[in-house]
Amino acid sequence: MSRVYNFNPGPAALPVSVLQQVKDELLDWRGHGMSVMEMSHRAEPFLTIAAEAEADLRRLLDIPDSYKVLFMQGGATGQFSAVPMNLRGARTSADYVVTGAWSQKAAREGAKYLDATVVARPDDDRFTYIPPFSGWALNDEAAFLHYTPNETVHGVEFHWTPKLEGVPLAADFSSSFLSRPINVRDYGVIYAGAQKNAGPAGLTVVIVREDLVGQSLGCCPLVLDYRTLAESGSMSNTPPTFAWYIAGLVFKWALDQGGLESMAAASERKSSRLYRYIDGEPFYENPVAISDRSRINVVFTLADSSLNDAFLQGAKLAGFAGLKGHRMVGGMRASLYNAVPEVAVDALIDYMQEFVRRRG
């Protein structure tokens, strides 16, 4: 078996012990004589798998009983539509903070269902900083305020939580889900595509405050309707059972590692080590304001961009994957999700040093 150091932005690295367990249980899940893939979602044992995953996620994030946990499909992009369709209610507008590629997409999709007001965005389109809260042009009548705590493409992260009065906060946590403890009570709805930090693609986790459920627009598809999902245990139609099962194993893994405090500490160590190296080496540069740098997606450019291909080819030979930056930003990106071990970051820094010695 030969595994690479996987810095993919998503789908991304999963804990090896989880993959091993999936492999061990693949043909015969605990004496039931079939794979989880082959089980009915309405029968034991899948109902147990599903309930355990929810209970473990509730423990990990300390989710209050007044919040529903939904296991959905359609990705985070599906939630760009689901959030406005479920939360608009009698209101006509929602506020959007645009800090990078993903929050921009969310705002554009939201505009199909309501007046999506961009209340804050940086002065230019490089998205290298978070506009300070004091300058946000908030509306008291907004159905919600949407923001993206971690911008996966631009490598920008909120290290604070917007505090609003009366207007529910809607957060696309896809790439920083389970990377640090959060206070769920600060939010109206939290959602995350599982494929960054919580499992395989195909599952979207939604955590929504009970009182926001049940006011969806008439046009809301059944599969995106929070109430139908909440009332059916996320089984109003066939859920992504295999992805749900694997996410459940990832939740157990995170609990075994010491929970989100421990995930946060590791995330801090990995990202600060890489930023320290980049900041001390003139050949590499990170364009993001220091206070808004992402702990999860570290973007960097080479002093000579004509060496980009050589950097990536060398990286591939040295056993690294997923370092090419998004085409919107260029350069490189190392995504440091929970399942990326610290040795991978050390090895990457060694490679970056070696590259400067040879080509810099």
Please, which of residues 290-309 interact with ligand PLP by CB under 6 A? none
136 is catalytic: no
- For residue 235, give Cα distances in angstroms to 71, 202, 238, 287: 9, 15, 6, 44
211 is catalytic: no
Q: Considering the complex, what minimum distance in angstroms separates the CB of residue 198 from ligand PLP?
A: 11
Report the residue number, 148 or 228, with the smaller CB distance to ligand PLP. Answer: 148
Quote the CA–CA distance of 189 and 223 in Å, as a whole number: 17
- Rg over alpha carbons for the chain, rounded to the nearest Å, is 21
Q: Considering the complex, what minimum distance in angstroms separates the CB of residue 80 from ligand PLP?
A: 8
- Of 102, 252, 270, 324, the catalytic one is 102
Nearest CA-CA partner of 110 in 138, 144, 140? 144
Report the residue number, 43 or 328, with the smaller CB distance to ligand PLP. Answer: 328
Please, which of residues 156-185 interact with ligand PLP by CB under 6 A? 172, 174-175
199 lies in the site for ligand PLP, by CB under 6 A: no
Measured in degrees and rounded to the nearest 5, phi and psi for residue 299 equal -95, 145
Cis-peptide, bond into residue 168, ω within 30° of zero: no
Measured in degrees and rounded to the nearest 5, phi and psi for residue 120 equal -160, 140
Q: Considering the complex, what minimum distance in angstroms separates the CB of residue 205 from ligand PLP?
A: 11
310 in Cβ contact with 283 (< 8 Å) = no
Residue from 122, 193, 200, 248 in contact with ligand PLP (CB under 6 A): 193
160 is catalytic: no
43 in Cβ contact with 237 (< 8 Å) = no
Residue 99: Cβ-neighbour burial (10 angstroms; 0-12, 13-18, 19+): buried
Number of residues that bind ligand PLP (CB under 6 A): 12
The pair of structure tokens assigned to 224 is 């995106």
Report the residue number, 10 or 240, with the smaller CB distance to ligand PLP. Answer: 10
Q: Considering the complex, what minimum distance in angstroms separates the CB of residue 119 from ligand PLP?
A: 18
Nearest CA-CA partner of 270 in 250, 291, 301, 298? 298
- Of 56, 95, 172, 225, the catalytic one is 172
- H runs (alpha helix) in 38-74: 46-61
Beta pairing, strands 150-151 & 145-147: unpaired
DSSP class of 185: G
- Of 56, 68, 196, 292, the catalytic one is 196
Quote the CA–CA distance of 144 and 149 in Å, as a whole number: 15
Binding string, residues 43-82; x marks residues near ligand PLP by CB under 6 A: --------------------------------xxx-----
Q: Considering the complex, what minimum distance in angstroms separates the CB of residue 130 from ligand PLP?
A: 14
Long-range interactions of 25-32: CB distance < 8 A, separation 24+: none
Report the residue number, 201 or 349, with the smaller CB distance to ligand PLP. Answer: 201
Residue from 8, 81, 152, 271 in contact with ligand PLP (CB under 6 A): 152
Residue from 146, 196, 209, 295 in contact with ligand PLP (CB under 6 A): 196
Residue from 102, 144, 244, 351 in contact with ligand PLP (CB under 6 A): 102
Report the residue number, 46 or 102, with the smaller CB distance to ligand PLP. Answer: 102
Please, which of residues 222-281 interact with ligand PLP by CB under 6 A? none
Residue from 10, 155, 240, 331 in contact with ligand PLP (CB under 6 A): 10
Catalytic residues: 102, 172, 196
Residues interacting with ligand PLP, by CB under 6 A? Answer: 10, 75-77, 102, 148, 152, 172, 174-175, 193, 196
